[in-house]
Amino acid sequence: METTIPLLFAAMVGFTHAFEVDHLVAVSSIVTRRNSVKASIKDGIYWGLGHTSTILVIGLLMIVAKVAVAEATFGYFEATVGLMLILLGIHRIWKTWKHEQHHHEAHHGEVPHHHHHLAYGIGLVHGLAGSGTLVLLVMTELKSSLQGIAYLLIFGLGSIAGMLLASGVFSLPFSRRFTNARQVRGALTLASSLLCIALGCKVMWENLSAL
C-alpha cells in the first residue's frame, strides 16, 4: 500500500508539472510557429517525450547504476534550461522578423512538413530542470529500483498529457481561426519571445549566483 500510493499520484504530479511557468513560457514560444492546433498539440507530445527521455536517463543512472551526481551539477542543469529559454526567445524573434521580411503570409508560422524536432529537443533540455530533486525524492520514497523507474515512467506520461493540453490551449491565439491579422499574431509572438528571454535570464541568474 505504501508503494502503491506514490505510483497512483505519479501521473497527477507529472500532469501538474507540465504547467510550471518555465514550461508554459517555452511551449507558448514553440507554438507561435504554428497556425494549426493539431500541429501544436503534436509539439506538446514531442516536448513531453523529450522531457521524459531525459528524466529516465538520469533516473537510470542514479537509481540503477548508482551514479552519484553532485548537487552543484543540478544547478548548472537549471542554468542550462535558462540559457535554452533565452536562445529560444531570440530564435523566435529572428524567425518572425525573417518571415516579415519576405511577406510569406500565406504560410505564416508553418514549419515545412510539420517537423517536431525543436519541441523534442527543448523537452530534452527541459528534463534537466528539477530532475535531480525528482529522482532523489523517488529514491527516498520507493526502495525498489523497478518501482522507481515505474514512477518516472508514469510521471512522464502525466507530463505528456499535461503538455499536450497546454500546447493546444496556448496555440489558440496563433490559430487563423482566432485571428487572421498578421500584426496581432506578430505582436503575440514578440511578447511571448520577450517573456521567454526574461524568464531565461532570471533562471540563469538565480542558479549561477547560488553556486
What is the domain count for the chain? 1
Place of cell 542554468: 79
Q: What is the pLDDT of residues 67-107, one digit of tens each?
A: 888 888 889 999 999 999 999 999 989 887 776 666 554 44
Percent with pLDDT over 70 in the chain: 85
Task: State the average pLDDT over residues 104-128.
Answer: 72
pLDDT at position 111 over 90: no
Q: What is the pLDDT of residues 139-154, one digit of tens each?
A: 877 778 888 898 999 9
Indicate the pTM of the whole model: 0.85
Domain enclosing residue 74, as ranges: 4-209
Exposure pattern of 172-207 as b/e (b: 16+ CB <10 Å)? ebbbeeeeeeeeebbebbbebbebbbebbeebbeeb
pLDDT grade for 31, boundaries at 50, 70 and 90:
confident
